């Protein structure tokens, strides 16, 4: 039985800042952010949103009544949780009218938990072939104003439906993985922002890519030119590129990396969703991919886990993408000045409280938003 991604969409909040403007205000050469890190803009969360509302907006783009009746498992991957106990996915039940005879859980291991979520979804479908699984990856990446991590912030959510006979990508059974107890990035309970060892984090990321990708190629007896493209978790777009170039100079992969980073460089790090933002970007922006092309995926979560897995493109996958919605979402965002961003950042409502105030979704074509009491 073939199992994989049947539907996929992302949602980002409607505010952003220009990183060149942030650099100027911070007294830094803008090229450090735009060239050194490879980022243009950062998505900024609105006061009325959290990881649940971001997730609901993403899921709205791919759900319909029939699907809602078929989904019997909702997996919510996040490290921006609104509750220490209750799963973020349960809040989605009432917002999205999901079934009650359905399982709802939340998964955590930094940015990696979305990768294991699609693996769990696949295993669930193997024993329940007619079920559909809703996988959410939703996060708000915050490091603090004036911090080293500030240019690598971001916010957004991915929603995916995993099913048999998928329309977009068939997942293979070939993952290679590594986990080491590394303190590169972690956020102890009640800390608003993570404790980060930036250098250790980038070194561990590249080392884990090298280890898992080489193991994959050895196990499968494949070479880099067997891939049509490789998608990366992208905390900033320069890092995936550095990891890729550390192992191969394959031209096709370098070109396709440019397509895969198209949305990330305009949004920033969305943690659990970042890897899947990269595949959406590749599929929507590259017009030269072919059915059955092999796509590699490198998932990374600080702490630290690395995983390399692959999928094959399904013929006609282009007809199941949301390109015009995604492009409109990015084009209609509002730019904040750095002062407006700082004010918003310093006056965020406690995310553990405000999600319960959500009263309804006002669905305007290509512009779904939440309103609070």
300/308 with CB nearer ligand HMG: 300
73/75 with CB nearer ligand HMG: 75
Q: Out of 4, 13, 149, 229, name the contact with ligand HMG by CB under 6 A.
A: 149
**Nearest distance, CB of residue 208 and ligand HMG, angstroms:** 10
Q: Is 351 in the site for ligand HMG (CB under 6 A)?
A: no
**What φ, ψ does residue 338 adopt, rounded to 5°?**
-65, -35
Question: Residue 31 class from Cβ within 10 Å (0-12 exposed, 13-18 middle, 19+ buried)?
Answer: exposed
**What φ, ψ does residue 42 adopt, rounded to 5°?**
-130, 130
- Residue 311, classed as helix, strand or coil, is strand
Q: Out of 235, 240, 273, 311, name the contact with ligand HMG by CB under 6 A.
A: 235
Report CA-CA distances (Å) from 268 to 61, 138, 275, 293.
Answer: 21, 13, 12, 27
Candidates 14-22, 30-38, 243-251, 260-268: pick the segment binding ligand HMG (CB under 6 A).
30-38
Per CB under 6 A, contacts with ligand HMG among 35-74 are: 35-37
* E-assigned strand segments in the chain: 3-11, 15-18, 41-44, 71-77, 103-107, 132-141, 154-164, 169-171, 176-179, 185-186, 195-196, 229-232, 294-301, 305-313, 334-335, 358-364, 367-372
185/317 with CB nearer ligand HMG: 185
**CA nearest neighbour of 154 among 30, 255, 268, 26:** 268
Residue pair 59/65 in contact (Cβ under 8 Å)? The answer is no
Per CB under 6 A, contacts with ligand HMG among 171-200 are: 184-185, 196, 198
x-or-dash string of contact with ligand HMG, 109-128, rule CB under 6 A: -xx-----------------
Tokens of 58: 């993403």
Q: Is 148 in the site for ligand HMG (CB under 6 A)?
A: yes
Q: Which residues are catalytic, by number?
A: 79, 111, 233
**Nearest distance, CB of residue 275 and ligand HMG, angstroms:** 10
**Nearest distance, CB of residue 103 and ligand HMG, angstroms:** 25
Give residues in contact with ligand HMG (CB under 6 A): 29, 31-32, 35-37, 79, 110-111, 148-149, 151-152, 184-185, 196, 198, 201-202, 205, 233, 235-236, 239, 269, 271, 300-302
């Amino acid at each position: 039985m073939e199992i994989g991604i049947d539907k996929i969409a992302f949602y980002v909040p409607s505010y952003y800042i220009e990183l060149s403007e942030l650099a100027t205000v911070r007294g830094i050469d803008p090229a450090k952010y735009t060239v050194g890190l490879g980022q243009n803009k950062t998505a900024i969360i609105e006061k009325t949103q959290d990881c649940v509302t971001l997730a609901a907006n993403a899921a709205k783009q791919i759900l319909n009544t029939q699907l809602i009746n078929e989904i019997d498992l909702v997996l919510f991957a996040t490290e921006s949780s609104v509750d220490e106990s209750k799963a973020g996915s349960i809040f989605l039940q009432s917002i999205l009218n999901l079934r009650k005879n359905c399982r709802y859980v939340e998964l955590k291991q930094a940015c990696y938990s979305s990768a294991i979520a699609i693996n769990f979804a696949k295993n669930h479908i193997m024993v329940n072939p007619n079920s559909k699984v809703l996988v959410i990856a939703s996060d708000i990446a915050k490091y603090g104003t004036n911090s080293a991590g500030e240019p690598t912030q971001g916010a957004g959510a991915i929603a995916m439906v995993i099913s048999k006979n998928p329309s977009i990508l068939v997942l293979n059974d070939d993952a290679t993985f590594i986990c080491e107890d590394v303190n590169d990035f972690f956020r102890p309970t009640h800390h608003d922002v993570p404790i980060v060892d930036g250098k250790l984090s980038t070194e561990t990321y590249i080392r884990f890519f090298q280890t898992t990708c080489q193991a994959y190629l050895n196990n499968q007896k494949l070479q880099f030119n067997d891939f049509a493209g490789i998608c990366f978790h992208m905390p900033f777009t320069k890092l995936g590129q550095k990891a890729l170039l550390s192992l191969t100079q394959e031209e096709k992969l370098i070109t396709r990396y440019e397509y895969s980073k198209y949305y990330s460089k305009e949004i920033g790090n969305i943690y659990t969703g970042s890897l899947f933002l990269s595949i959406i970007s590749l599929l929507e922006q590259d017009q030269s991919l072919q059915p059955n092309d092999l796509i590699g995926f490198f998932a990374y979560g600080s702490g630290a886990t690395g995983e390399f897995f692959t999928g094959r493109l399904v013929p006609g996958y282009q007809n199941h993408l949301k390109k015009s919605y995604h492009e409109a979402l990015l084009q209609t965002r509002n730019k904040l000045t750095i002062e407006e961003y700082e004010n918003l950042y310093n006056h965020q409502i406690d995310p553990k409280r405000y999600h319960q105030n959500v009263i309804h979704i006002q669905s305007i074509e290509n512009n779904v938003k939440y309103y609070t009491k």
